[in-house]
Structure 1
Amino acid sequence: MLYSLARRVDNIPVLNEKGEVIDKKYSFEAYYYKNRYLNPVIRIAVISNGMMFLCRRPEKFNYNPGKIDLPMETYLQYEEKPEDGVKRILRKYFPENEELDPRFSIKYRFKNEETNRLIYLYILYVEDDSQLCNPRFQDGKLWTIQQIESNLNKGYFGDCFEDEYEQLKDAVLFSEEFK
């Protein structure tokens, strides 16, 4: 029993200001140390038919619970490459579809009173939005640019999403231009 419990606890890397791994912590500790350490996080945006797919963050999340945000996010695990973390999260949300191929968009730092993250943002372009009808996505729906912009800066969306919005908006517009 102890062995199975230990397998469910992930180690996440602690980074220095240059993004180099200097230590590791248990993932559940992030809540207690808040923004004291820099941790890598993978976020995957989904774009389909000129819209962004957004979901409600689960209430169990330590950061921004209940806010509308990108559908997929995870800590990068200790000694895991970002590409492997992306594959891991895709297996969790789309176990039946191994052909999905998110594209790296940007790496940036996000820090506030509650968290300190080095974010790897990926974008997944999905033509068939029926695969988004997935019980793993809480209250998920496609949002137009206009719907998002009318709700920005009102405390409705997650903090990271609000920071990423302009980058993601460009990706939506780009996807429509070359459709």
Structure 2
Amino acid sequence: HVFNDKGELYLQKRPAWKDIQPNKWDTSVGGHIDLGESVEMALKREAQEELGISDFTFELLTHYVFESNREKELVFCHRTIYNGEISPSNELDGGRFWSIEEIKNNLGKGVFTPNFESEFARLKF
């Protein structure tokens, strides 16, 4: 989770061509760990690939298993505060910072992925 100094959370928009949760807003950095990679190495790689950021410090918030009727994932959730330039990759349909209140007002309305809504509730931002 990428926050700025105002406490806003950066979310990515999934493109229409994605087969899972197209056109929905989601956690800004997500991906899979490659063979031989640590969680931290994968986090740095994915942040660079998806947002173009590489100079940041992070803290582990939690880890858990997410399961839906289509997938099952072991999720490691991290947090950073970042105020530099963000350049979403071509894999995304853009992104922006959201206030926590704005997120709360849009929960349950089909705006966000179920993964994000579940994690947002779990972490109680």
Instruction: Tell me which interval the TM-score lies in, with the shorter structure as reference length.
Output: 0.7 to 0.9
Give the length in aligned residue pairs: 121
Alignment of 1:1-20 (within 5 A): none
Contact 2:27–2:116, Cα closer than 8 Å, also in 1: yes
What is the CA–CA distance in structure 2 between the aligned matches of 1:89 and 1:75, rounded to whole Å? 8
Q: Distance in 1 between matches of 2:19 and 2:38?
A: 23
* Structure of larger gyration radius: 1
1:147 paired with 2:102, answer yes
Distance, in Å, in 1 between the alignment partners of 2:117 and 2:81 is 20
SS across alignment from 2:106: coil
Poorly superposed stretches of 4+, deviation over 3 Å? 59-62
Q: TM-score, normalised by structure 1?
A: 0.60
Match of 1:102 in 2: 58
Tell me which of the two structures has the higher relative contact order, counting C-alpha pairs closer than 8 angstroms and 6 or more residues apart.
2
Alignment of 1:107-118 (within 5 A): 107-118=63-74
Which one has the bigger strand percentage?
1
Q: Tell me how large the CA RMSD over aligned residues is.
A: 1.9
Write the mapping of 1:40-119 to structure 2, written as runs, cut at 5 A.
45-48=1-4, 49-93=6-50, 95=52, 98-119=54-75
Partner residue, 1:131: 85
Q: Which residue of 1 aligns with 2:112?
A: 157
Q: 1:109-155, CA deviations, whole angstroms, 9 ceiling, x for partnerless residues?
A: 110111111111111211x2x512x2425331111111111110122
The alignment's TM-score, normalised by the length of structure 2, stands at 0.84
Which amino acid in structure 2 is aligned with residue 131 of structure 1? E
- The aligned residue for residue 120 of structure 1 is 76
Distance 1:94 1:140, change over 3 A: closer
Which runs of 5 or more residues in structure 2 are unaligned? none
Any stretches of 5+ residues in structure 1 without a counterpart? 1-44, 170-179
